[in-house]
Amino acid sequence: MTPEEIQIYCRRVRDAVANEHGTKFIERHFQAADNQLSVEEFPYCDLVAERKATLKTLLEKQHVVILGEPGSGKSTLLWEAARRLAELASEKQLPVPLHLRSYRGSLDALANAQDLPAASDLNVGRFYLLDGLDEIPAQYHQQFAKEIANRLSEPMTRWMVTVRQAFFTEHKELLPPRFLPMLVLGFREADVLRYAAGIDLDSSRFWHAIEDAELTDATANPFVVRVLANLYQNGRKLNPKKSDNLCLLIDHLLATRPNLPSIPAQVMHNAVGQTGLRFLFQIPLKHFAVNVPDLEFSEIADKVILDKCRD
């Protein structure tokens, strides 16, 4: 690629980021995920994390996999990484952001749609940014694992992959062990205030509304913050009943999962009512994958509720 072609390509990546995720970004923090850490422990790591690693730190690594619960901002992080790399417009690390839900056996086939240089072009470095390892159709899992294992040896290539944490604990074989697993940490109060200010909300009043609704614990999840902010923008207040807000959050989450089989909203409402909002983002993660599980969701929910009651 000529310098002019590199500039044109990077400008197109920046435009794509702006169109898909906007221009505002709240800096996130990460911690290394212990390979022995259980799914149940993952969401609580934030309580003791040093919060030193940032996206800048991750972009200095050779192979990274970003873990997070649904709504934690994994895709936003990946697109922010693409934007930063595009700003550099360096022939040593051109960003290659790809949605893995469209993977059908070849990463090159995905990349070709973006007019990228061929993998054999050793004069241009590529930083592959692969979003949604858990969204690859099951029939292509083996082919993806084989392809990425073979391509790690390619010169001038680096890799960053996002995946839901529960899926990764059960499918670590999809990525070579050279990938460093990093857990994205949740929002804290200061992050929520910055987000609110960034969309022209009175951040202090918004936070007080969250406190009044007893939803402060839920705001560690950026998706929750975005939904609550939208509700607050419409009426300058949140519902006085915590359960009503939780039901609205559930409905919004289901609306963002168009590939799911039909899930009765009332099943979700009942499950969250008995187990807490953590159920929404942690327990049913298998069901949030594109692949339909063996159990019906109601059976999964009933089993989880029963297990919780036994604890």
Higher per-residue pLDDT: 158 or 49: 158
pLDDT digits (tens, 9 = 90+) for 157-205: 899 999 998 889 889 999 999 999 999 988 999 999 999 998 889 999 9
pLDDT band for position 214 (50/70/90)? confident
Residues forming a β-bridge with 159:
63, 128
> For position 255, what pLDDT does the model report?
66
**Residue found by looking up tokens 């609704």 in the block:** 213
Going from the C-alpha of 269 to that of each of 85, 111, 210, 239, 243, the distances in angstroms are 41, 40, 20, 16, 9
> For position 270, what pLDDT does the model report?
57
Check pLDDT > 50 for residue 307: no
As a whole number, mean pLDDT of residues 5-26 equals: 82
pLDDT band for position 116 (50/70/90)? low
Question: 183 in helix, strand or coil?
Answer: strand
Going from the C-alpha of 222 to that of each of 153, 165, 169, 172, 247, the distances in angstroms are 35, 16, 22, 25, 17
Higher per-residue pLDDT: 36 or 132: 132
**Residue found by looking up tokens 């070579």 in the block:** 176
CATH 3.40.50.300 boundaries in the chain: 3-184
pLDDT band for position 48 (50/70/90)? very low
Check pLDDT > 90 for residue 153: no
161 close to 175: Cβ distance less than 8 angstroms: yes
* DSSP run (H or E) holding 212: helix 203-212
Q: Which two tokens stand for residue 169?
A: 């604990």
CA distance 191 to 185: 11
Judging by DSSP bridges, how do beta strands 180-184 and 29-32 pair with one another? antiparallel
> For position 253, what pLDDT does the model report?
66
- Residue 26 burial (C-beta neighbours within 10 Å; 0-12, 13-18, 19+): middle
CA distance 58 to 106: 25
As a whole number, mean pLDDT of residues 44-67 equals: 74
**CATH fold for domain 3-184:** Rossmann fold (3.40.50)
pLDDT band for position 131 (50/70/90)? very high
CA distance 111 to 115: 7
- Please count the other Cβ atoms lying within 10 Å of the Cβ belonging to residue 190: 10
Candidates 297, 96, 64; CA nearest to 183 is 64
Check pLDDT > 50 for residue 45: no
Average pLDDT value over all residues in the chain = 76
Check pLDDT > 90 for residue 141: yes
CA distance 109 to 308: 45
